[in-house]
């Protein structure tokens, strides 16, 4: 399995932060995980609340664990609430079904990591994640993989 490298993860994270500033979003926290769910980049803008890292990590971690972006996880959670309640207790690091967790694919189509963002509404978190991934020349997968 290929993993996102440190340099690419930094590009993704910094570009997501820059995009959030362009859109004048609320302060966000960005986490970029490699394919093993290891943190490769994390940064919090001034003014983020204390729970933002846990939420951002869970968005990215859940996307990796379930093989789909957290937007798709949100729909599945609505359709299968008992199943998703169970998942939160068995997936190490947790998961957060709501927009803002986006899988990262390389040019060969392999999942190499995920981005999780928390701070604004989920749709805006997701927009910033996608912008960061695309800035790095990678492919964003916000929904079904």
Instruction: Count the domains in the chain.
Output: 1
Q: Of 2, 11, 6, 24, which is closest to residue 134 (Cα–Cα)?
A: 11
Give the per-residue pLDDT at 1: 63
CATH of the domain at 29: 3.30.450.150
Per-10-residue mean pLDDT for the chain, 145 residues long?
92 98 98 97 97 97 95 93 87 92 96 98 97 98 81
Question: What's the predicted TM-score (pTM) here?
Answer: 0.95
Contact 129, 115 (CB under 8 A): yes
For residue 124, being part of any structural domain is answered with yes
In a domain, 82, yes or no: yes
Please tell me the predicted confidence (pLDDT) of residue 89: 83
Query: What pLDDT does residue 88 have?
Result: 77
Q: Is residue 64 part of a domain?
A: yes
Say if residue 142 is exposed, middle or buried (CB neighbours under 10 Å; 0-12, 13-18, 19+).
buried
Does residue 1 belong to any structural domain of this protein?
Answer: no
Nearest-Å Rg of the Cα atoms of the chain is 13
Which residues are bridge partners to 105 per DSSP? Answer: 111, 139
Asked whether residue 78 is assigned to any structural domain, the reply reads yes
Dump pLDDT digits (tens) for 90-110: 999 889 999 999 999 999 999
Structural domain containing residue 30: 6-141
> Which pLDDT value is given to residue 2?
84
């Amino acid at each position: 399995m290929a993993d996102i490298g440190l340099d690419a993860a930094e590009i993704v994270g910094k570009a997501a932060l820059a995009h959030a500033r362009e859109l004048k979003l609320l302060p966000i926290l960005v986490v970029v995980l490699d394919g093993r769910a290891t943190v490769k980049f994390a940064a919090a803008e001034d003014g983020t609340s204390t729970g933002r890292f846990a939420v951002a990590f869970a968005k990215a971690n859940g996307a990796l664990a379930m093989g789909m972006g957290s937007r798709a996880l949100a729909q599945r959670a609505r359709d299968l609430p008992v199943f998703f309640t169970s998942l939160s207790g068995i997936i190490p690091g947790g998961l957060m079904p709501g927009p803002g967790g986006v899988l990262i694919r390389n040019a060969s189509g392999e999942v190499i990591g995920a981005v999780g963002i928390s701070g604004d509404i989920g749709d805006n978190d997701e927009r910033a994640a996608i912008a960061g991934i695309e800035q790095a020349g990678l492919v964003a997968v916000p929904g079904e993989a």
